[in-house]
Amino acid sequence: MKRNEVVDAKIEIVSIHSSQSPFYVKAKIIDLSEQDKNFKATPFAMLSVISDNELNVGDVLTSKLKLKPFRSVKNFDVFDAERFALSERVLYEGRSVGQSVRVSAQKKSTTRESYRGFIFSITDNMKMQWLYYALLTGDRSQIKDADKVHLKELGLSHLLAISGLHIGLIFAIGFYTSKLLFGLFSVKHNQQNNLNKLFVVIGLLLAFFYVYLSGFIVSATRALLMLACYLIIYSFAKQPLRWRAILYALTILLFFDPFSLLNPGLYFSFIAVIIIFLTLNYRSYPKFKLARGVVQLVIIQCGLFLGLLPITLYYFAGISVIGLVINLIAVPLLGIILMPLLVAYCFLSILVDLGFLWQFFDAFLYQGYQYLTSIPSDWRWLNFYLPSFNLLLLFYVILVILFFSPYKRLVFLPLTLALIDWHLTPKGEFKLDVFDVGHGLMIMVSANQKALIYDLGPRYFGRFDYINSVLRPYILRHNIEVIATVVSHQDNDHAGGLESWQAAGFGKTLSTFHPNGLDQACENVFFQIENLSVRTINHSTLSTNKNDQSCIVMVESKNHQVLLTGDISKLVEQALVDSNARIQSTVLVSPHHGSNTSSSSEFIERVAPDIVIHSAAYQGQWNFPHPEVVKRYQQHHIPQFTTANLGHIRITFYQNDYQLEFARKSQSYWFEED
């Protein structure tokens, strides 16, 4: 199949990520047109689909599609959509052509879909339906974004991701329920050991069925595999060889799915299990059974909180402040009360309607949840980022030495190496971040954790931009204070994220350059950010073109300059040259993304940059940077770097030098490279 060739396809909707046309969906490719019969397509693709009909998971559609290999933006220290897609086996993306999509058939209901429909019906009209549905099916699509934020800040997100806790609970329900039933019916058997094996098999089968009904989601399958390895080894070895069970489970998992190494959930799961095993080895528990259980729970929760703290800070840039206390209540509530009652409610609802009884429990649970969400946000979540993978690795190396090595003093070796590395690493004067936002512009210049933001990137479908997915997470992770924001002009590719930026609380930072709003050209500004001078550059052209009204900003340190030009054309460039404006720079971000309407030879000669950066989309429809522009910079022997090919470009400036980093080079494995 040729790139961007229109093909007839039949697809099945797997998940829906936007609920209005054009729908953004994850779909399984069932069939392609005859001419593409030999096309070895992945089963999954992310598609923008136009349809007059409301789409639902399980719908089978026919459509004319343009497909291409999946590619997303690539930025430092934020969510990597490409890597996640690869781990989920999504290797293609595309869009439907015109209004050609129609619902051709509804997929036949499977056991899993019938089960989900049943769960939805018996929990309908309940205030906490999203909680019950997620726990019983593994499908979190019913959880609203606001509730996801609340759960994250309260440290409870893990309770809704089907994993070891849930699989263990379902196994325990199967094991002890079968044991209870055998006892109630006075089933006699001479070999209690064989009966226990039967109970284990029943519990494991129930856990397997639960994972099947959840759709074999990765975390659930991983937990089931670990449980099965542990039980099999225990059955044959007559003793709980915990570490061997972990090793076998990890080996089997990586054999069948080596790309699971890209999924942070793998590390959370195995580290959590190791921590639990270590805490279970703790011997100084009280003799009384109830007291022992309470103390054991507290020790396990404290161990999990501390042991998972570094990896949580690294991946989520923060920690739930009250999560430890809340989990001491929530985990027993889930394990001892909620899950057993939910399972019993499901089975009994097959025979009789018990919804009126569950409503009382639902009201109680809802009140508790409302109380938790009323806790001030500052008490719930603390933003703090572990900035280096090396620091994360250092922490766990130290833990391994302390818990598993007979030579505890070895712990000083990695600590000493880390301190030497920190001391020898040079400290930069300031940084320039040109984010990868496709066709658009979003730049940050920062010094000592204080920053200037230049442009806010594009907005798509009137609802998606890069503020909450790239800029805000990056700022939070690096503990940066935004001093001022410039919007060069109001084209969508430069100002598309404005609404989200203001909603995030950064509206006041616009007042320095735009005190009278964005409808007027930016003010003449000169101010300092730490050791940096920031000034606007005016021009005398009378052009009414929006691009030519772009706010031109120069950022200078003692030895380096960065020129930010928006979308100015050759007309404005010539005006700057004629006025002898001070525009010579170390780094130039090319005008208008490298369009042939800009970057005149005279302008290039006057700026005389060491390097030029083009912010452009990968194989975009305008083909930026234009070949003629590339040629002109080459004629002046100026190195060029493009976000389309390199992703996020980060430059650290030192006193007499600078260092470039590229997200697609430093954060990609060999199998991810173009």
DSSP for 488-550, written as a single string: ----HHHHTTHHHHIIIIIGGGGTTT-TT-TTSPPPP-EEEETTEEEEE---------TGGGP
The domain in which residue 514 lies consists of 430-672
CB atoms within 10 A of CB 181: 12
pLDDT confidence band for 41 (50 / 70 / 90): low
| 86 sits in which H/E element | helix 81-87
pLDDT confidence band for 672 (50 / 70 / 90): low
At 606, which CATH number? 3.60.15.10
pLDDT at 96: 81
Residue 671 has pLDDT above 70, yes or no: no
**Whether residue 464 sits in one domain with residue 406:** no
Give the C-alpha distances (Å, rounded to integers) separating 365 from 76, 337, 360, 557: 40, 11, 9, 57
Final residue in a domain of this structure, among 106, 137, 157? 106
Residue 632 has pLDDT above 90, yes or no: yes
pLDDT confidence band for 68 (50 / 70 / 90): confident
Q: In this structure, is residue 635 part of a structural domain?
A: yes
pLDDT average, residue stretch 87-111: 69
pLDDT digits (tens, 9 = 90+) for 377-409: 878 888 787 777 888 899 999 988 988 888 888
CB atoms within 10 A of CB 639: 12
Residue 537 has pLDDT above 60, yes or no: yes
Q: In this structure, is residue 362 part of a structural domain?
A: yes
pLDDT at 496: 95
**Whether residue 71 sits in one domain with residue 189:** no
Final residue in a domain of this structure, among 54, 85, 106? 106
**Whether residue 77 sits in one domain with residue 153:** no
pLDDT at 538: 86
pLDDT confidence band for 663 (50 / 70 / 90): very high
Task: For strands 59-69 and 102-106, give the pairing.
Answer: antiparallel
Q: What is the spatial distance between Cα 132 and Cα 119, in angstroms, rounded to a whole number?
A: 8
Three-class secondary structure of residue 618 per DSSP: coil
pLDDT confidence band for 259 (50 / 70 / 90): confident
The contacts of residue 221 (CB under 8 Å, 6+ apart) are: 211
pLDDT average, residue stretch 591-595: 96
Final residue in a domain of this structure, among 87, 106, 125? 106
| Residue among 89, 73, 77, 5 at smallest CA distance from 41 | 89
pLDDT average, residue stretch 84-108: 71
**Whether residue 458 sits in one domain with residue 369:** no
**Whether residue 239 sits in one domain with residue 223:** yes
> How would you list the strands of the sheet with 481-486, edge to edge?
481-486, 450-456, 442-447, 430-434, 649-653, 658-662
**Whether residue 259 sits in one domain with residue 403:** no
Pick the range with the lowest mean pLDDT from 87-91, 239-243, 352-356: 239-243
Instruction: Tell me how far the alpha carbon of residue 186 is from its chain's centroid.
Output: 53
Residue 535 has pLDDT above 70, yes or no: yes
At 73, which CATH number? 2.40.50
**Whether residue 578 sits in one domain with residue 441:** yes
Q: What is the spatial distance between Cα 413 and Cα 258, in angstroms, rounded to a whole number?
A: 32
pLDDT confidence band for 522 (50 / 70 / 90): confident
pLDDT confidence band for 370 (50 / 70 / 90): very high
**Whether residue 456 sits in one domain with residue 372:** no
pLDDT at 99: 56
Residue 562 has pLDDT above 80, yes or no: yes
pLDDT at 100: 52
pTM exceeds 0.75, yes or no = yes
pLDDT digits (tens, 9 = 90+) for 411-465: 899 889 888 988 888 889 999 999 999 999 999 999 999 999 999 999 987 778 9
pLDDT confidence band for 111 (50 / 70 / 90): confident
**Whether residue 305 sits in one domain with residue 178:** yes
**Whether residue 417 sits in one domain with residue 441:** no
The contacts of residue 231 (CB under 8 Å, 6+ apart) are: 200, 204
**Whether residue 325 sits in one domain with residue 419:** no
Residue predicted with more confidence, 105 or 112: 112
CB atoms within 10 A of CB 462: 10
Beta strands in 549-610 (DSSP E): 553-556, 561-564, 587-589
**Whether residue 326 sits in one domain with residue 179:** yes
pLDDT average, residue stretch 282-305: 78
On average, the pLDDT of the chain sits at: 87
pLDDT at 2: 60
Residue 261 has pLDDT above 60, yes or no: yes
pLDDT average, residue stretch 300-311: 90
Q: In this structure, is residue 443 part of a structural domain?
A: yes
pLDDT confidence band for 239 (50 / 70 / 90): low
pLDDT at 102: 56
Contact (CB, 8 A) for 549 and 521: yes
pLDDT at 361: 92
| Residue among 619, 576, 579 at smallest CA distance from 598 | 576
pLDDT confidence band for 34 (50 / 70 / 90): low
Q: In this structure, is residue 468 part of a structural domain?
A: yes
The contacts of residue 54 (CB under 8 Å, 6+ apart) are: none
Q: In this structure, is residue 1 part of a structural domain?
A: no
pLDDT digits (tens, 9 = 90+) for 450-485: 999 999 999 987 778 999 999 999 998 888 999 999
Q: In this structure, is residue 519 part of a structural domain?
A: yes
Residue 571 has pLDDT above 90, yes or no: yes
What burial class does residue 160 get, using C-beta atoms within 10 Å of its C-beta: 0-12 exposed, 13-18 middle, 19+ buried? buried
Q: What is the spatial distance between Cα 83 and Cα 262, in angstroms, rounded to a whole number?
A: 7
Q: In this structure, is residue 640 part of a structural domain?
A: yes
Total number of domains constituting the chain: 4
pLDDT at 49: 84
Backbone angles phi, psi at 465, to 5 degrees: -145, -175
Q: What is the spatial distance between Cα 253 and Cα 335, in angstroms, rounded to a whole number?
A: 27
Q: In this structure, is residue 472 part of a structural domain?
A: yes
pLDDT at 54: 77
